[in-house]
Structure 1
Amino acid sequence: MTALDKLFAAARLVRENAHAPYSNFHVGAAILTDRGTIFAGCNVEVASYPEGWCAETTALGKMVAAGETTVHTVLVMGEGGRLTTPCGGCRQRLAEFAGPDVTVHVADPTGIRASFSLGELLPASFVLADPA
């Protein structure tokens, strides 16, 4: 099984645990780190709708809590006719831990539908300036 197959399987499995009672839109995300570890997360909605969080945020939080800080590859899985790409906030969060060349795969339960570089998704990301 390839790393991409493992990412797909992890996102598909965790997507089933999404807490989406308001939108009924379940999203799973899986992140492969530079150490080869996979962290998966799902979206979590709450009654105060804008206070929920995205699948990518959950996966990043798990990654950081485990002591890792470098994203190598991302896979986001949604459903429906449109692509489920990371939202703007998640694109910026990913950019905190991934370079513009990191691949973000967008999938549904049947397979990968598109792949982008993070730089394509967030062409002018906000980054801290390198120290002088």
Structure 2
Amino acid sequence: MGRILSIDYGTKRTGIAITDELQIIASGLTTVDTSTLLDFLKDYFSKENVELVLVGEPTQKDGSPSDVEEEIQKFLKAFFTLFPLMEVKRIDERYTSKMAFQTMIDSGMKKKQRRNKALIDEISATIILQQYLYNL
């Protein structure tokens, strides 16, 4: 069984989370500069068996696509050029950033640590992955 990788795509930074090989536990992996995301994935896929990639689907409260969706579509086009056989699913990511921030508060992180936007992106990717695993 391969791992499941989730992506919380952002215009500047992208949070990434991954499961274990049994697809039981979701863990934050890292946050990368979005400009280097495809290179990161190329390297990661060469080392690890990933069978599914989840990409967050940001929407407005009314369900319409978020502004970043156009950039995500460009990313997906480039992704499928490099990885034509990789399965990709889109997952609703509404409120994951707020849930990530609340998770930081609940875990007792100090205010200075909670300003780390890269950590929020990584936790958001983990929440996307946890939601997917929960709904399996």
Q: Do these two structures clear the TM 0.5 threshold for a shared fold by scoring above it?
A: no
More helix by share: 2
TM-score normalised by length of structure 1: 0.37
